[in-house]
């Protein structure tokens, strides 16, 4: 299907809202929070996350394993130290129907900083590794780049409106994407014809998650992999649903700058300054609604576009 009529789009929006409203947000958000309930394994500094009975995903969502590995690392660090950066590589696609094993290596503990290396395995094979650094809160020099001039969340397009207008989304995929998500989402994405390099998306967790700072950072790490890779597609007029496009994350880096609460609106401003060699660089700056820069992210992804048959 090359395009949808306004009437078809409105009908799809109504159906998407019906699908979305059929599930309460609380259990969906709680399911993400449970991702961080890692079970201690038989050896010290090792953790397990059990297999799911079934899954609709071809592979584990990257944001999940980023956040889980970060939380596993934090469980071995002095609680007074907060994670301020992480660097990760995706090595193999994970399977949600198999247990995850997290091995944390205590590479360094100093007075101000600690460093942890986390190796994640399934079936004995390494699928992901992450290095995270933790710091005692310390006063010092401070500056930030101002937040760009952006539309507020209430003036941006609802995520359901975005998927309803995309003719490349099949009925099965549409039903899956319209289901309740852990975040309320509002986005501003230029049309494909603009060949733009920047877009942004507002997030707010859809149900209460308490006050634990680590859980809020875990949710932010989870969200940092939502849509970032599409930045490198934008200049080429592509998106995740483009026929013949295969995409996956190769690595991911993130820096935490300020106090974080994901139950308040925050905006992910994303862009891409390069694609080539079937790879693309994607950058993101995350701001609170008051303009405070709270985190930054960079990711390289694989982009392979098969020629039309």
pLDDT digits over 52-95, tens only? Answer: 888 878 899 999 999 999 999 999 999 999 999 999 999 999 99
Query: Are 116 and 76 spatial neighbours (Cβ–Cβ below 8 Å)?
Result: yes
Whether residue 159 sits in one domain with residue 72: no
143 found inside a domain: no
Catalytic site residue from 64, 68, 114, 299: 299
The whole-chain average pLDDT of the chain stands at: 94
Residue whose entry in the numeric block shows the structure tokens 């080539």: 276
The pLDDT value recorded for residue 235 is 93
Whether residue 286 sits in one domain with residue 179: yes
29 found inside a domain: no
Give me the percent of the chain exceeding a pLDDT of 90.
Answer: 78
Pairing of strands 245-256, 82-90: antiparallel
Average pLDDT of the residues in 214-225: 98
Whether residue 298 sits in one domain with residue 167: yes
The pLDDT value recorded for residue 200 is 97
Q: How far apart are CA 47 and CA 44, in angstroms?
A: 8
**Secondary structure, 3-state, 98-143:** CCEEEEEEEEEECCCEEEEEEEEEECCEEEEEEEEEEECCCCCCCC
Catalytic site residue from 249, 272, 285, 296: 249
The pLDDT value recorded for residue 309 is 66
Query: Are 88 and 260 spatial neighbours (Cβ–Cβ below 8 Å)?
Result: no
Whether residue 120 sits in one domain with residue 154: no
Give the angle subtended at the CA of 216 by the CAs of 119 and 128, to the nearest 5°.
15
> Would you call 122 a catalytic residue per the annotation?
no
Whether residue 52 sits in one domain with residue 197: no
Residue 47 belongs to what domain range?
Answer: 35-138
Average pLDDT of the residues in 142-168: 92
231 found inside a domain: yes
Whether residue 305 sits in one domain with residue 183: yes
The pLDDT value recorded for residue 307 is 80
Give the helix/strand (H/E) hosting 150: none
> What predicted TM-score, i.e. pTM, was given to this entire model?
0.94
pLDDT digits over 8-29, tens only? Answer: 889 999 999 999 999 999 999 9
The dihedral built from the CA positions of residue 231, 234, 239 and 243, taken in this order, carries a sign that is negative
Indicate the residue among 110, 138, 166 that finishes a domain: 138
Separation of first and last alpha carbons in the chain: 16
275 found inside a domain: yes
Domain count, the chain: 2
The pLDDT value recorded for residue 90 is 98
Average pLDDT of the residues in 298-307: 94
The pLDDT value recorded for residue 175 is 85
Whether residue 121 sits in one domain with residue 9: no
The strand pairing partners of 246, in sequence order, are 304
What band does 2 get if pLDDT is binned at 50, 70 and 90? low
Give 3-state DSSP helix, strand, coil % of the chain, rounded to 5: 25, 35, 40
Query: Are 47 and 39 spatial neighbours (Cβ–Cβ below 8 Å)?
Result: yes
The pLDDT value recorded for residue 56 is 73
The strand pairing partners of 303, in sequence order, are 247
Catalytic site residue from 64, 225, 231, 247: 225
What band does 176 get if pLDDT is binned at 50, 70 and 90? confident
pLDDT digits over 228-280, tens only? Answer: 999 999 999 998 888 899 999 999 999 999 999 999 999 999 999 999 999 99
> Would you call 230 a catalytic residue per the annotation?
no
pLDDT digits over 108-122, tens only? Answer: 999 999 999 999 999
Give me the percent of the chain exceeding a pLDDT of 70.
Answer: 99
Whether residue 188 sits in one domain with residue 39: no
More confident residue, 191 or 56: 191
The dihedral built from the CA positions of residue 21, 26, 32 and 34, taken in this order, carries a sign that is negative
> Would you call 68 a catalytic residue per the annotation?
no
The pLDDT value recorded for residue 172 is 79
Q: How far apart are CA 224 and CA 295, in angstroms?
A: 9
Whether residue 271 sits in one domain with residue 160: yes
Q: Give yes or no for residue 6 having a pLDDT over 70.
A: yes
Residue 294 to residues 88, 144, 258, Cα–Cα distance (Å) = 19, 10, 5
């Amino acid at each position: 299907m090359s395009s949808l009529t306004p009437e078809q789009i409105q009908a799809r929006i109504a159906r998407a809202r019906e699908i979305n409203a059929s599930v309460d947000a609380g259990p969906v958000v709680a399911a993400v929070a449970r991702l961080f309930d890692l079970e201690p394994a038989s050896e010290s500094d090792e953790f397990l996350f059990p297999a799911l009975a079934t899954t609709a995903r071809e592979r584990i969502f990257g944001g999940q394993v980023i956040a889980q590995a970060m939380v596993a690392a934090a469980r071995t660090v002095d609680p007074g130290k907060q994670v301020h950066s992480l660097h990760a590589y995706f090595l193999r696609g994970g399977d949600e129907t198999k247990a995850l094993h997290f091995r944390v290596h205590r590479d360094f503990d100093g007075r101000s900083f600690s460093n942890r290396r986390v190796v994640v395995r399934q079936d004995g094979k390494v699928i992901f590794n992450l290095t995270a650094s933790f710091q005692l809160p310390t006063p010092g020099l401070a500056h930030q780049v101002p937040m760009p001039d952006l539309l507020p969340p209430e003036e941006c397009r609802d995520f359901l409106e975005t998927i309803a207008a995309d003719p490349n989304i099949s009925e099965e995929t549409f039903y899956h994407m319209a289901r309740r998500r852990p975040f309320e989402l509002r986005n501003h994405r230029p049309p494909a014809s603009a060949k733009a390099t920047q877009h942004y998306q507002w997030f707010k967790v859809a149900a209460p998650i308490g006050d634990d700072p680590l859980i809020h950072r875990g949710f932010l790490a989870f969200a940092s992999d939502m849509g970032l890779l599409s930045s490198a597609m934008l200049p080429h007029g592509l998106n995740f649903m483009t026929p013949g496009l295969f995409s996956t994350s190769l690595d991911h880096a993130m820096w935490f700058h300020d106090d974080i609460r994901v139950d308040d609106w925050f905006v992910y401003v994303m862009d891409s300054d390069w694609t080539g060699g079937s790879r693309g660089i994607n950058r993101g700056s995350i701001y609170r609604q008051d303009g405070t820069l709270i985190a930054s992210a960079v990711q390289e992804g694989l982009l392979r576009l098969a020629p039309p048959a």
